[in-house]
Structure 1
Amino acid sequence: MTSEDNDQFDSALLDAAMALAASKGWASLTMPEIARHAGLEMGEVRRRYPFKASVLLLLGRMADQSALIDDGSLGTPRETLFDLLMRRIDVFQQYRAGLLAVLRGLPFDPPLLLLLGAATMDSMKWIAGAAGISTGGVGGLLRVQGVVALWTHTLRAWEKDESEDLGTTMAALEQGLDRAERMGLFNGVDHAPTEELQSAYPSEDGDTLPPLQEEPDADFTENNG
């Protein structure tokens, strides 16, 4: 297969998975069902995507690739981080109904939640580095965790944002960036206050974010198909 063929294969599979998730929920879906709906050869789907979670990992990679495209634009780390995170949201928006169905089921699927947390951490390390935020050493790990908290805060706003221009989501991200800046995310110091950064993004019921390794975004493994 050519690179274009591969892209078409991946897009067809992801489109089918998200359409089915939107109509019947994620938990009950199986990979054979997704392959049939996509009109793809079952054996090839099995070879490329052995687990249902693989489809969500694909979505995460697509979101990262879209965010990390070098368009030559220059800005401060804060400005760049805003742009990169909104690019990820723009990809998620294309699959909104299906992805919301996935997110609704996460509290009932701890293994998937843990896997998504690990995938999110990896994605945010790339995003932070691309924004010019140091990710090396212990201090870098703490800063990456701060970016994960910021992303989770933004994702929660996106879940509730039904506007076409995603104005509520962008406003939440700007507010989160204000908090992160006050907490020293962009200072590049090795003692970035991760716990303070996390507590800066409370949920609507007043609770702070759950442990970062349990936070979702877009990726994982079986138990899910």
Structure 2
Amino acid sequence: MARKKASPEDKIIDAALKLALAQGWRDLALADIAAEAKIGLPELAHIFHSKADILAAFERRIDAEVLAAAETEGIESESPRDRLFDVLMLRFDALGPRKPALKRIALDLAGDPMGALSLIRPALQSLGWMLEAAGIDSSGLRGAIRVRGLALVWAAAFRVWLNDGEDQARTMAELDKRLRQAEEWKDALSRLRTRKTDDAAA
């Protein structure tokens, strides 16, 4: 079977990640990425406006891989927390081949608050899709709250994953712990709302 030809977008993403690993992210120039991808700078500018756009496109590529894997393999756990755990582990699996580059990028972004800030919106959008893959509604105000809560869970597990071994044991333990904490907070908030409603009706 003939190998599918990489699109210009994929070439740019792959070139950016390759160069990020080799020379870091903060000082990486778009012209360098274009040269590595073997495309002209005008073509890159037509597809992406910034390095943040390139990382956002990488996030979308991972989203597509995870959603396809979730659909193919099936997420059969009964509880929402367990389904979400399974989906997020699929995401870590999809990110695995790029871990060295992502580790270098994360290190550089830790010293670049503006650069990190530009990635918040696409990251939240990706996490919204992870909720949907787990059968959890991400729409409306409640969905927005769920996405932001999941962002805290993901950030904690991602930091552990960057330095974890191939078995991902520490990552799984951290993810499970954080999801359980989030569930406990949700239950506590639900009880508080019920109590306030009962007090108001009394």
Question: TM-score, normalization: structure 2?
Answer: 0.80
Which 5+ residue runs of structure 1 have no aligned equivalent? 193-225
Please identify, of 118-127 and 54-63, the stretch whose mean Cα deviation from structure 2 is larger.
118-127
Give the secondary-structure state (helix, strand or coil) at the position aligned to 1:175: helix
Give the secondary-structure state (helix, strand or coil) at the position aligned to 1:135: coil
Shift of 1:61: 0.5
Change (3 A) 1:17 1:137: closer
Change (3 A) 1:169 1:160: same
Deviations 1:140-160 (CA, angstroms, capped at 9, x unpaired):
322222111111111111122
Shift of 1:183: 2.3
The equivalent residue for 2:150 is 147
Change (3 A) 1:41 1:190: farther
AA of the residue aligned to 2:72? D
Amino-acid identity (%): 31
The equivalent residue for 2:90 is 87
The equivalent residue for 2:18 is 19
Change (3 A) 1:43 1:105: same
The equivalent residue for 1:209 is none
C-alpha separation between the residues in 1 aligned to 2:86 and 2:179?
12
Q: Report which of the two has the higher share of helix.
A: 2
CA RMSD of aligned residues (A): 2.6
C-alpha separation between the residues in 2 aligned to 1:95 and 1:27?
18
Shift of 1:115: 1.8
Question: TM-score, normalization: structure 1?
Answer: 0.73
User: Which contiguous aligned blocks of 4+ residues in structure 1 show a shift greater than 6 angstroms?
Assistant: none
C-alpha separation between the residues in 1 aligned to 2:62 and 2:191?
29
The equivalent residue for 2:172 is 170
C-alpha separation between the residues in 2 aligned to 1:13 and 1:58?
10
Instruction: Tell me, yes or no, if structure 1 residue 115 matches structure 2 residue 109.
Output: no
How many pairs were matched up?
186
Change (3 A) 1:122 1:190: farther
C-alpha separation between the residues in 2 aligned to 1:137 and 1:51?
29
Shift of 1:43: 2.9
Task: Report which of the two structures shows the higher radius of gyration computed on alpha carbons.
Answer: 2
Shift of 1:191: 8.0
After TM superposition, list the pairs within 5 Å mapping 1:40-119 onto structure 2: 40-69=39-68, 70-71=71-72, 73=74, 74-76=76-78, 77-119=80-122
C-alpha separation between the residues in 1 aligned to 2:7 and 2:141?
40
Deviations 1:68-99 (CA, angstroms, capped at 9, x unpaired):
12226132322221122122222322111221
The equivalent residue for 2:186 is 184
After TM superposition, list the pairs within 5 Å mapping 1:154-165 onto structure 2: 154-161=157-164, 163-165=165-167
C-alpha separation between the residues in 2 aligned to 1:191 and 1:21?
47
AA of the residue aligned to 2:155? T
C-alpha separation between the residues in 1 aligned to 2:139 and 2:37?
42
The equivalent residue for 2:200 is none
Give the secondary-structure state (helix, strand or coil) at the position aligned to 1:71: helix
C-alpha separation between the residues in 1 aligned to 2:109 and 2:100?
15
